[in-house]
Structure 1
Amino acid sequence: MNTMFQTDGGTLRVEGLRVAFGALVALDDVSWEVNPGEILGIIGPNGAGKSTCYNAATNMVQRTGKVEIDGRDVSTMPASRLAALGLRRAFQQNAFFTHLTVLENMIAVIQPQHGTSLLGTILRPLSEHRRAVHTRQVAEAALKNMGIPPEFHHRLPGEIPYGTQRMLSIALANGTGARILLLDEPAAGLGGEDMRELCDRLLALRAGGMAIVVIEHHMDLVMQITDRIVVLDRGRRLAYGTPSEIRHDPDVLEAYLGRDE
Structure 2
Amino acid sequence: MISVPVLSLSGLTKRFGGIQAVSGVSFDLAPGAITAVIGPNGAGKTTLINLITGVLSLNDGAIRLEGADITNEPVHRRAVAGVARTYQTPQMAAGMSVLRNVMAGAYRFGRYGLLSTLLRPWTIITENEEMAERAAHALRRVSVPEEWWHQPASDLPYGLQRRVEIARALAQDPKVILLDEPAAGLNPSETADLARLLTDIAADGRAVLLVEHDMPMVMSISSHVVVINFGRKLAEGTPAQILTNPEVIAAYLGSDEEEAA
TM-score > 0.5 by shorter chain: yes
Matching of residue 219 in structure 1 with residue 203 in structure 2: no
Alpha-carbon distance between aligned partners in 2 of 1:259 and 1:51, rounded to the nearest angstrom: 26
TM-score, normalised with respect to structure 2: 0.89
Aligned 8 A contact 1:121 1:129 in 2: no
Structure 1 segments (4+ residues) deviating >6 Å: 115-118
Amino acid at match of 2:49: Y
Amino acid at match of 1:41: A
Matching of residue 140 in structure 1 with residue 136 in structure 2: yes
Aligned 8 A contact 1:10 1:210 in 2: no
1:47 to 42, 46, 71: 42
Worse overlay, 183-192 or 104-113: 104-113
Alpha-carbon distance between aligned partners in 2 of 1:142 and 1:253, rounded to the nearest angstrom: 38
Alpha-carbon distance between aligned partners in 1 of 2:83 and 2:224, rounded to the nearest angstrom: 19
Aligned 8 A contact 1:38 1:226 in 2: yes
1:98 to 75, 94, 99: 94
Q: How far off is 1:170 after superposition?
A: 1.4
Aligned 8 A contact 1:36 1:210 in 2: yes
Alignment of 1:169-184 (within 5 A): 169-184=165-180
Q: How far off is 1:89 after superposition?
A: 1.4
Amino acid at match of 2:218: V
1:113 to 109, 123, 128: 109
Alignment of 1:184-199 (within 5 A): 184-199=180-195
Shift in alpha-carbon separation, 1:152–1:65, aligned structure 2, 3 A? same
Alpha-carbon distance between aligned partners in 2 of 1:219 and 1:115, rounded to the nearest angstrom: 42
1:81 to 59, 77, 81: 77
Aligned 8 A contact 1:10 1:179 in 2: no
**What corresponds to 1:206 in structure 2?**
202
**What corresponds to 2:12 in structure 1?**
17
Q: How far off is 1:53 after superposition?
A: 1.4
Ranges in structure 2 where 5+ consecutive residues have no aligned partner:
none
1:27 to 16, 22, 30: 22
Q: Deviations over 1:156-180 (max 9, x none)?
A: 1122111000111111122141110
Count of matched residue positions in the alignment of Structure 1 and Structure 2:
252
Q: Secondary structure at the match of 2:250?
A: helix
**What corresponds to 1:162 in structure 2?**
158
Tell me the percent identity. Answer: 35
TM-score, normalised with respect to structure 1: 0.89
Alpha-carbon distance between aligned partners in 2 of 1:142 and 1:122, rounded to the nearest angstrom: 31
Amino acid at match of 1:147: S
Q: Secondary structure at the match of 2:182?
A: coil
Alpha-carbon distance between aligned partners in 1 of 2:82 and 2:99, rounded to the nearest angstrom: 22
Shift in alpha-carbon separation, 1:80–1:116, aligned structure 2, 3 A? closer
Shift in alpha-carbon separation, 1:27–1:108, aligned structure 2, 3 A? closer
Matching of residue 65 in structure 1 with residue 61 in structure 2: yes
Shift in alpha-carbon separation, 1:142–1:116, aligned structure 2, 3 A? farther
Alpha-carbon distance between aligned partners in 1 of 2:216 and 2:197, rounded to the nearest angstrom: 16
Shift in alpha-carbon separation, 1:102–1:40, aligned structure 2, 3 A? same
Amino acid at match of 1:82: R
Q: Deviations over 1:115-159 (max 9, x none)?
A: 87774586474x765554443333212111111110110111122
